[in-house]
């Protein structure tokens, strides 16, 4: 899959930016209500948020947004569809994409845009390579976690935008990113028992 161009105003496929080793980038955690374009802040009242990451390249002033999305719309990824009797189709794939700019109004108005780290170009470039690897190996989208009962056997785990941001931050930390520990972010998981 590589880094693919399906986000709004997405960059061409596999054109992840790279930076000089000593460049400085600010890393942002970003949250906005799911389907804000249709329902405004309604889903924020229920803590149903879409998560993403932002980057600001200090030397050039360029901003980038990175999001992990379902490839075939949320409902297609969440539920299989019956085509004909006894035939199902389930397009439950997801991937990260990156595009130029950060829509500050979108993220701040009903959600969150907060700086969580500063990294150098070396860390970002390693993270960019990891992102392509992750897109090629973690290709499914799962809206919720399913267990037999609370704290029971796990049938399958959620794998969506918030879990991608958490995986991405963890991986960035292994490359040397130091996160601002005073920033507290909440992530909502949907569980089915």
Annotated catalytic residue within 7, 77, 97, 161: 161
Annotated catalytic residue within 7, 50, 77, 97: 50
- Rounded CA-CA distance 23/58 in Å is 7
Spatial CB neighbours of 176, under 8 Å, sequence gap ≥ 6: 119, 120, 122, 123
Chain-centroid distance of CA 191 in Å reads 19
- Rounded CA-CA distance 153/130 in Å is 30
Does the active-site annotation cover 7? Answer: no
φ, ψ for residue 57, nearest 5 deg? -90, 110
φ, ψ for residue 32, nearest 5 deg? -150, 155
Describe the crossing of helices 161-174 and 121-137 by its angle, rounded to 10 degrees: 130
Does the active-site annotation cover 50? Answer: yes
What is the set of active-site residues? 50, 161
């Amino acid at each position: 899959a590589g880094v693919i161009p399906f986000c709004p105003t997405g960059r061409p496929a596999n054109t992840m930016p790279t930076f000089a080793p000593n460049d400085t980038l600010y890393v942002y955690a970003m949250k906005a209500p799911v389907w804000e374009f249709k329902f405004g802040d309604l889903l924020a009242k229920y803590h149903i948020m879409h998560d993403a990451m932002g980057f600001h390249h200090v030397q050039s002033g360029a901003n980038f947004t990175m999001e992990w999305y379902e490839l075939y719309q949320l409902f297609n990824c969440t539920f299989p569809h019956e085509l004909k009797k006894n035939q199902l189709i389930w397009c439950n794939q997801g991937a990260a994409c990156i595009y130029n700019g950060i829509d500050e109004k979108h993220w701040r108005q009903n959600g969150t845009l907060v700086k969580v780290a500063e990294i150098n170009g070396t860390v970002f470039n390693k993270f960019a390579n990891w992102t392509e690897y992750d897109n090629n190996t973690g290709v499914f989208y799962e809206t919720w976690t399913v267990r037999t009962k609370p704290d029971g056997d796990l049938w399958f785990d959620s794998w969506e935008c918030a879990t991608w941001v958490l995986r991405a931050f963890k991986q960035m930390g292994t490359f040397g990113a130091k996160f601002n520990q005073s920033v507290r972010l909440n992530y909502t998981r949907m569980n089915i028992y």
